[in-house]
């Protein structure tokens, strides 16, 4: 009897992944909209789409040396995806990551600044 179950189990194959080992190989296999990131800068101070639609104020506009840019706080994000849907310039996109652990809270906050131009 147990032999039958052993064979059934072996024939089933495995569903559990090797994660977190081989993380870079495993994560891209699954479509998991979990953690967004900015893939480029946004200097359009007039556009407030992202900061307005974000329900948790994870996205804010800040003044930097280069001008105005967007600040994303992944620690406050609930993965609703509105920023990705609404941004007319596709600044935001889902990363492949489902995990992010930091020792300090501020490490969850990112800003992409455009390099200041010579005639700026």
Partner 1 sequence: MHARRDDVQDMIALVAQALAGADTELLYYGFAPGDDSDDRGDFSAERARELVAVTCDRSLKEVVWHFGRCRAGDSEFPSLASQYPGALWIEREMWERSGCTPVGHPDLRPIMHPEKHHPDPVARGAGTFHLPLGPVRADVTESGFFLFDTIGEQIMHMQPQLFYKHRDIEKLAQGMSAEDTLLLAERISGTSTVAHATAFCRAAEQALGYRPSLQTERERMLFGEMERLYNHVHDFSQLASATGMTVAQAQLARAKEELLRLNAEVSGSRYLRGTVRLGRSASVDWEAGAARLRAELPVIARRVRHFLELLLHTPTFIDRLRPTGIVELEWARVYGTVGPVARACGLSVDTRSDCLRHLYESAGHACMTAEDVFGDALSRFRVRVREWDVALNIVMKLLPSLGMSTLVETELSLAAGRGIGVAESPRGRVCHVLFCDNGKVVEWGIRAASAWNWPVFGLATANGNIQTDFPIIDASFGLSYAGLDR
List residues binding partner 1 (CB under 8 A).
5, 8-9, 12, 15, 30-33, 55, 78-81, 85, 94
- Beta strand segments in 7-108, E: 36-38, 59-64, 67-73, 92-94
- Shortest CB 104 distance to partner 1, Å: 28
- Shortest CB 74 distance to partner 1, Å: 17
CA distance 103 to 100: 10
Which one, 3 or 103, has the nearer CB to partner 1? 3
CA distance 81 to 118: 36
Which one, 66 or 97, has the nearer CB to partner 1? 97
Residues 34 and 98 sit within 8 Å (Cβ to Cβ): yes
Which one, 36 or 91, has the nearer CB to partner 1? 36
């Amino acid at each position: 009897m147990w032999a039958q179950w052993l064979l059934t189990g072996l024939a089933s194959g495995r569903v559990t992944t090797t994660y977190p080992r081989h993380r870079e190989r495993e994560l891209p296999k699954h479509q998991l909209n979990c953690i967004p990131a900015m893939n480029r800068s946004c200097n359009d101070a007039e556009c407030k789409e992202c900061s307005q639609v974000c329900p948790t104020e994870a996205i804010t506009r800040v003044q930097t040396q280069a001008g105005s840019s967007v600040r994303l706080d992944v620690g406050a994000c609930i993965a609703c995806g509105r920023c990705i849907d609404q941004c007319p310039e596709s600044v935001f996109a889902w990363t492949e990551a489902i995990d992010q652990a930091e020792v300090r809270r501020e490490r969850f906050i990112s800003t992409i600044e455009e390099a200041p131009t010579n005639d700026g």
